[in-house]
């Protein structure tokens, strides 16, 4: 029991720190949209960070999972753990250093090829940043292995807080100081550098976290084992392919957008798309929180008599909650629009489609239990690869004509198809009786309420909000009557008991 309690506590710490971190990063969206001089500058951020997401997957090459696999479950085996840790860390240190040096040496041709020839230092800074983050992934894995959840969370949050603080300093504070007392900051601050300070901030935050991790780097006896490394690479490299396909499903549209949409305002369009896509990440944060709780739940329930019934219920309540978030966001768009500057608001119409895409991502994650529990993880890679082919194909075909709307619908089709394929394969190899009819009723109710909310405009924000809140109340009332009676909620149960006695 104490072990389960400890697991629950650590899950909460890891989950909350990650979710809080994602929320804080989400808060950079309004900062960038209001402070950067144009949506084109946000387009630069969107494109470069899409590439860094891919590069960090390549630079870690599955070794985080490999570390956990080879370190073993017995934490008393210190010698074995240290050998695995030092071997993994040495491998990542070498590859990350080689990558960082190569990018710095080749920054000019790389920047030219990417269309940023005027600022090769952006590429150098992000190359070093990604190399540091890749290296840091192993000390962070070591902290998780050692159950140092609080230290893990604090260092992750340190990275985010420093990044946000540096962004505010360079993009908000320095311009104001420069306007009144330029001599105070002129020795390090360049007023026209703009978006470059986003990358400076990221480099500083990653560097500080790497320094903070050093006490957890030099631990135990250092022992590099080449034979062990070969075994780890044989295990980890297939995971790299899985990771590349998965991240490309999410980012490839932003990587190739400028090459496909060749109009003069391509970077502005990409900036609008990137900012509005980020606004919808509230749904992704919920999905991320769900994932933290769901995977331990799946493996803990596996083998029990009611495990499949529990998996089916988890799917239903995930979809119900996600649909509630969907309605909340589309109904309060009159308020949410202020998250981004006026220049970006033309793209807010994509948010309902992006929210549905995120919902499919969550359903897909729910369905992934079938190949995890039956040791058919290769199917996960096949499904991700299928999604990548669909995404690239649709983007290439339609982005030149439809701009970022093609990206949005390509992502939706990608995840809808992957979800359908995973569902049918899952029913073949690990059938679960999901309550499709009940879920379907909630989907239809959500669609009807969304249509009702969109069909009426009172011309005043307050009136629209009251009307749409009432519609959201209809969803809540149906949920309470059908699937979540108030008398069954632990906090409220005692009040219903008192009422019954009276």
pLDDT one-digit tens code per residue, 420-452: 999 999 999 999 999 999 999 999 999 999 999
CB distance 472 to 328 below 8 Å: yes
Per the model's pLDDT, the better-predicted residue between 196 and 148 turns out to be: 196
Mean pLDDT of the chain: 89
What per-residue confidence (pLDDT) applies to 23? 86
| CA-to-CA dists, residue 417 to 193, 361, 395, angstroms | 43, 11, 16
Q: CA-to-CA distance for 113 and 115, rounded, in angstroms?
A: 6
Q: CA-to-CA distance for 342 and 313, rounded, in angstroms?
A: 42
Give the 3-state secondary structure of residue 117. coil
What per-residue confidence (pLDDT) applies to 157? 92
Whether 117 shows a pLDDT value over 90: the answer reads: yes
What per-residue confidence (pLDDT) applies to 150? 87
Q: CA-to-CA distance for 309 and 211, rounded, in angstroms?
A: 47
Q: Could you give the percent of the chain with pLDDT greater than 90?
A: 67
Question: Which stretch of 73-82, 202-211, 340-349 has the lowest confidence by average pLDDT?
Answer: 73-82
Q: CA-to-CA distance for 444 and 441, rounded, in angstroms?
A: 5
Which residues fall within 8 angstroms of residue 416, CB to CB, at 6 or more apart? 360
What per-residue confidence (pLDDT) applies to 195? 96
| Cα–chain center distance at 25 | 10
What per-residue confidence (pLDDT) applies to 306? 73
Whether 149 shows a pLDDT value over 70: the answer reads: yes
CB distance 283 to 359 below 8 Å: yes
Tokens 């990206």 — which residue?
407
What per-residue confidence (pLDDT) applies to 303? 65
CB distance 42 to 119 below 8 Å: no
Tokens representing residue 73 in the block: 């479950």
Instruction: Indicate the helix (H) or strand (E) that contains 226.
Output: helix 226-260
Whether 207 shows a pLDDT value over 60: the answer reads: yes
What per-residue confidence (pLDDT) applies to 289? 74
Whether 502 shows a pLDDT value over 50: the answer reads: no
Nearest of 82, 78, 131, 377 to residue 235 by alpha carbon: 377
What per-residue confidence (pLDDT) applies to 11? 59
Q: Specify the long-range contacts of residues 305-311, CB closer than 8 Å, at least 24 apart.
A: 308/431, 308/432, 308/433, 309/433, 311/366, 311/369, 311/432
pLDDT tens, position by position, 379-431? 888 999 999 999 999 999 999 999 999 999 999 999 999 999 999 999 999 99
Tokens representing residue 72 in the block: 């073993």
Q: CA-to-CA distance for 82 and 74, rounded, in angstroms?
A: 13
Whether 287 shows a pLDDT value over 90: the answer reads: no
Task: Output the CA torsion sign for 341, 344, 346, 352.
Answer: negative
CB distance 403 to 261 below 8 Å: yes
What per-residue confidence (pLDDT) applies to 301? 64
Burial class (CB in 10 A: 0-12, 13-18, 19+), 12: middle
Binning pLDDT at 50, 70 and 90, where does residue 81 land? confident
Q: CA-to-CA distance for 370 and 436, rounded, in angstroms?
A: 17
CB distance 359 to 216 below 8 Å: no
Tokens 């969304």 — which residue?
450
Whether 2 shows a pLDDT value over 50: the answer reads: no
Q: CA-to-CA distance for 331 and 303, rounded, in angstroms?
A: 42
pLDDT tens, position by position, 166-181? 999 999 999 999 999 9
Please work out, in degrees rounded to the nearest 5, the angle formed at the alpha carbon of residue 350 by the alpha carbons of 348 and 355. Answer: 105
Tokens representing residue 79 in the block: 């010698």
Q: Other CB atoms closer than 10 Å to residue 243's CB: what's the count?
A: 22
What per-residue confidence (pLDDT) applies to 429? 92
Per the model's pLDDT, the better-predicted residue between 473 and 304 turns out to be: 473
What per-residue confidence (pLDDT) applies to 297? 64
What per-residue confidence (pLDDT) applies to 4? 44
pTM of the model: 0.88
Binning pLDDT at 50, 70 and 90, where does residue 112 land? very high
pLDDT tens, position by position, 290-325? 776 666 566 566 667 778 888 888 899 899 999 999
- Note the helical H segments in 456-489: 461-482
């Amino acid at each position: 029991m104490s072990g389960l309690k400890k697991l629950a506590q650590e899950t909460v710490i890891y989950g909350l720190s990650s979710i809080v971190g994602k929320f804080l990063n989400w808060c950079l969206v309004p900062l960038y949209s209001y402070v950067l001089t144009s949506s084109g500058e946000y387009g630069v951020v969107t494109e470069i960070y899409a590439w860094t997401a891919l590069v960090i997957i390549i630079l870690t090459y599955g070794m985080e999972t490999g570390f956990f696999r080879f370190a073993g479950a017995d934490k008393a085996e210190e010698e074995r753990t240290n050998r695995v840790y030092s071997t993994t860390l040495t491998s990542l240190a070498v590859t990350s250093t080689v990558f960082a040096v190569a990018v710095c040496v080749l920054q000019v041709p790389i920047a030219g090829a990417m269309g940023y020839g005027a600022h090769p230092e952006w590429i150098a800074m992000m190359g070093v940043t990604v190399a540091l983050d890749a290296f840091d992934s192993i000390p962070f894995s070591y902290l998780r292995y050692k159950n140092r959840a609080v230290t893990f969370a604090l260092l992750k949050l340190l990275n985010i807080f420093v990044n946000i603080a540096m962004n505010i300093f360079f993009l908000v504070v320095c311009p104001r100081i420069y306007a009144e007392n330029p001599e105070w900051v002129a020795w390090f601050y360049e007023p026209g550098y703009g978006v470059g300070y986003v990358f400076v901030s990221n480099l500083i935050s990653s560097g500080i976290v790497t320094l903070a991790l050093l006490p957890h780097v030099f631990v135990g006896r250092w022992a590099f084992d080449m034979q062990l490394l070969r075994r780890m690479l044989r295990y980890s490299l297939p995971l790299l392919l899985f990771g590349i396909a998965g991240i490309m499903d999410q980012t490839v549209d932003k990587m190739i957008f400028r090459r496909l949409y060749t109009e003069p305002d391509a970077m502005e369009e990409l900036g609008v798309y990137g900012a509005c896509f980020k606004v919808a990440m509230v749904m992704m944060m919920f999905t991320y929180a769900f994932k933290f709780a769901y995977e331990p739940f799946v493996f803990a329930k596996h083998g029990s008599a009611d495990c499949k019934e529990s998996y089916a219920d988890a799917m239903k309540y995930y979809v119900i909650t996600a649909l509630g978030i969907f309605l909340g966001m589309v109904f309060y768009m009159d308020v949410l629009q202020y998250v981004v500057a006026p220049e970006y608001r033309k793209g807010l119409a994509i948010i309902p489609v992006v929210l549905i895409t995120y919902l499919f991502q969550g359903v897909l994650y729910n369905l992934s239990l079938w190949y995890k529990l039956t040791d058919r993880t290769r199917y996960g890679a096949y499904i991700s690869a299928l999604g990548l082919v669909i995404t690239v194909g649709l983007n290439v075909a339609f982005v030149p004509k439809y701009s970022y709307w093609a990206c949005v619908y390509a992502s939706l089709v990608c995840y809808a198809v992957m979800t359908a394929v995973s569902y049918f394969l899952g029913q073949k190899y690990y059938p679960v009786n999901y309550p499709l009819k009940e879920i379907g009723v909630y989907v239809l109710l959500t669609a009807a309420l969304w249509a009702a909310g969109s069909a009426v405009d009172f011309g005043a924000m307050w009136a629209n909000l009251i009307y749409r809140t009432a519609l959201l109340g209809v969803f809540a009332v149906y949920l309470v009557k059908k699937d979540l009676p108030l008398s069954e909620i632990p906090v409220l149960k005692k009040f219903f008991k008192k009422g019954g006695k009276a």
